[in-house]
Every structure is written in C-alpha cells, then in structure tokens.
Structure 1
Amino acid sequence: MMTKLNDLIAVANKLRAPGGCPWDAEQDHNSLTKYLLEEAYELIDAIESGKREDILEELGDVLYQVVFHSDLAASGSLGEPFDIQDVAELSAQKMIGRHPHVFGSAEELEKYAAKTGDDVMLNWDAHKQREKPERSSVLDGIPQALPALALADKVIGKAEKIGLLDADAPGPFSVTSEAELGAILLAIVSSGKSAGFDSERALRGAVRELQVEIREVELADANDAGVIGLPAEL
C-alpha cells in the first residue's frame, strides 16, 4: 500500500546519490529552508483556490520537501542518522499522545472525553507539556519567524490562556465578517505605508511587548506558587 510513497523516497535518494543531480547533492537543510517556505505558501494558495488538481500537486511538493530533508538526515547530516520511517514513527507517537480521548486507556477516554474541537483544545497544552516538560512558558515552542499576523494570533491565544487577556471581552473594533476584518487590516496597512511605517515590523514589535507581559505574569504566578513552570491549568 505504500508503493507510491516508497517510489518517491527512492527518487529523492537517487537524485542525491553519486551520478544523480548535482544540485540536489549540493543542498543541505539550511539551503532548502526557503524552498520549504515557498512550497508551503503555494499549498496555501492552492487550498484557497479550491482547485483539486492544484492542491494535489502542491501537497506533493510539500511532501517532497519532507522526503528530501529525511534523505539528508539518513546520510548523517545531523549527527546520528534518521530516515523518513523514524519521522513517521515519531509523528504517530506524538499524535497518539496528544489524543488520549481517542487512543487512551479507559480512564483517559473518560477523563478527556471530547465531543467538540473546543473540548479537545481545553487539554491540548497539557498534552503537549507532557511531551516537553522542560518548557517553562506557554510561549515556548512558538516559532518567532512566523509572519507577524500569525504570530500575533498565536501569542494572543496564549495571553488569553493565562488570563492576561479576556477571550470573551469585546475587541476595540466591532467586526461582523472576515471580509470586513480584511478591509480594516488593509486600511491599517495602507495608513502605515502612507506614514512611512513598516506594518510587519510594527506588529512584530507590539507582539514582542505582549510576550514580555506574558512572561512577567507567568513569573509572578510562579513566585506566588513557589514553583517555576507552566500554570497548573495548562
């Protein structure tokens, strides 16, 4: 059943092997990063277009990036070798661990029973924390290289989780649709551009300040509790 995927793995391996493609052979994880980003954005474009053929093609391009990086790692590029089978195994373990309401013991199935996506998200951070107990902040693991809007959305969500922001409070703007929100954002960017400001940089700076506030709240809570770590409810 995995024949086609195995064929793709073999193609990537042959391209990088002696006698294969010189360009492929010259690449490393860092040089491939920009292509991974490009392919991910092209997939997003395809999804937004809703065209089956485009989505099929772009999913393949993203998949090939995973296969390529895995083939590099299998050659020892990152120290102890691993291959795409190891990647798949770790990913499966992670998904199983994060879904005890599906894969858990009878006790876990009862404890984490979920009927809606919101029910699942109530325990999501706790499941992730079990994977990485060394993390001491709800911000740990958020990629700071995210585009500013995506980063802002992530950080605001974390601020709501620790009670720094009220998720149920009305926002400063009354927005009734995504189209209206888009128009407001576009107007803000246009106003910033007219004034000579970089909207991406401006938002990134504001998000950095919010992250400082989050860490201050976490530190204060930890000091009050006499421990350092994530809030118990997370």
Structure 2
Amino acid sequence: MPIERLLAVMQRLRSPDGCEWDRTQTFETIAPYTIEEAYEVADAITRRDMADLKDELGDLLLQVVFHSRIAEEAGLFAFDDVVAAISDKMERRHPHIFGGAEAGGHHLWEQVKAAERQAKGVGGTLDGVALGLPALQRAEKIQKRAARVGFDWPDAAGPRDKINEELHEVESAASDDEREDEVGDLLFAVVNWSRHLKVDPEAALRRAITKFERRFRAMEQMTDALDQLSLDEKEALWRRAKEDER
C-alpha cells in the first residue's frame, strides 16, 4: 500500500543513519509546519489548483506521519492508532449511519461531541477550543459555544450596535495598553456580527487580503515609481485597478 511506503520513508529518515534534521525534530518543532501545511492546502483550494492541492495534501499527510513516528518512538502511539482513533470517532459521531439512531444532522453531531467532552472531564462550555486556532476562528468558536447556553444576541442588531460602542472606546483609550484591549474588543464584536450574518470571518478576511494583493500588484504594474507618487495619485491607480476587475 502507498501509505506503507511513506511510513517506511519516515522511519528511515528518523533512523540513526537517516536525515540529521528529521532526527532532531520534536512535536513542538514540527507543529508550526503542520499548521503551515494546512493553510497551504486551503490556499490551493482557494486558487482551484488541483495539481498543487494534491501536493499540499501529501505534505499535510506527511505531518501526520511525522508526529505519529515521533510518538511511536516514545512508546505513546503509532500511525495505525491514529487511523483507528479517527475511524472510531467518525462512526461514533454518525450514529444514524453506523448505529441505531433514526436521524442525524449537525445537532446530533454536537450532542455526541458534548458527550465526548464530558467523558474526558471537559465540562465547561468553553473548554476544548484549541488555543492554536487563528484568532478570528477561535473567537467565532468561543461565541458559538456561548450561544449554545443562550448567551448571545437575539439578532444581528446587537453585535452591530456593539461595534459602534467599541469604536468609541478605541477612540477614547487613554494608553497604548488600553487601546490594544479596545481594538481586541472591536475585532471580537466584528466576528460576532459576522457570525450573525452567516459569514465566516476567517474566510472573509482571507478574501479581502487576496483582493488587496491583486489590486496592489495591478497598481505596481501601472508604474515603475509607485513609491514616488503622491497619495492622491496612488489612490487614482487603486481606483483604476478596481475598475479593471469589473
């Protein structure tokens, strides 16, 4: 099987006469690469580059194999245990497919997840939301958890008004530390509003960044001296770049 070849490659790389760099890696040193590879998968999907997606999925799979090999060497678990654990989880969370439940859906999925957290001793509503998530994504997850127990605005008007309130508090901040706190509250409120509008804030911001990059690069192609233009001239190029997209 192809996976057996990959497992053998990683075992060889981690062996005493393998790759010096691979041998010295730990869970902690590899973790940033794991996160990076996940983002590169998402980037390939956004660009609809299927050849690149195939490569990036391979890179992400390598991260799973890498972590599993480190764990196996420490006597913790092996790759087969990882596969068995996720297979068990998927079957457990789809009792309407693999069990006796008559109906499924997201509500049932969340019920099973809540039961799993309780079994692990993770009883708090906000417990278990990964600290390593991007801030926008983690904010949204925290808000969704709070909403499950009724701590939420009834509609989008509440978080929209909160944005105005937080803007005023940013402008009224008396120190850099206070201003940082208030900007954080403002961003949290924007995430809350996005959630009520059924907009993924992480995806929305990524889309905005991509749009800015595209238009800025178009501006650079219009002149050889962008840094020497006045702000009004740069703004005119920006408007031209926007028009060219239509």
TM over 0.5: yes
1:169 to 148, 155, 175: 155
Query: Could you tell me which amino acid in structure 2 is paired with residue 165 of structure 1?
Result: D
CA deviation after TM superposition for structure 1 residue 38, in Å: 1.2
Q: TM-score, normalised by structure 2?
A: 0.63
Q: Which amino acid aligns with 1:22?
A: E
> Residue 131 of structure 1 is aligned with which of 110, 116, 120?
116
Residues 12 and 71, structure 1, Cα contact 8 Å, conserved in 2: yes
1:196-207 mapped onto 2 (5 Å cutoff): 202-203=184-185
* Structure ID, larger Rg: 2
Q: Is the 8 A contact 1:148 1:203 kept in 2?
A: no
**CA displacement, residues 69-104 of structure 1 (integer Å, 9 cap, x when unaligned):** 10111111xxx4311001100111111111101111
Hey, which of these two has a bigger chunk of helix by percent?
2
Deviation, structure 1 residue 130: 2.6
- Equivalent in the alignment of 1:81: 76
Match among 81, 88, 95 for residue 93 of structure 1: 88
1:69 aligned onto 2:55: no
Render the CA deviation track for 1:14-54: whole Å, top value 9, x for unaligned: 11112110100011111111111111111111111111011
Equivalent position to 2:131, from 122, 129, 144: 144
- 2:6 corresponding residue in structure 1: 8
Identity among equivalent pairs (%) = 36
Residues 15 and 21, structure 1, Cα contact 8 Å, conserved in 2: yes
What TM-score do the two structures reach when normalised by structure 1? 0.66
Match of 2:147 in 1: 160
Distance in structure 2 (CA, Å) of the matches to 1:100 and 1:13: 36
Counterpart of 1:16, as a letter, is: R
**4+ aligned runs moved over 3 Å, structure 1:** 171-174, 195-201, 203-207
Aligned pair count reads 176
Structure 1 segment 20-99 matched on structure 2, within 5 A = 20-76=18-74, 80-99=75-94
Offset of residue 153 of structure 1: 1.1
Q: Looking at both structures, which has the greater relative contact order when contacts are Cα pairs under 8 Å and sequence separation is at least 6?
A: 1
SS in 2 for 1:40: helix
| Matching of residues 217-232 of structure 1 within 5 Å | none
Q: Tell me by how many angstroms 1:62 deviates.
A: 0.6
Give structure 1 stretches of 5+ with no counterpart: 115-119, 175-183, 211-234
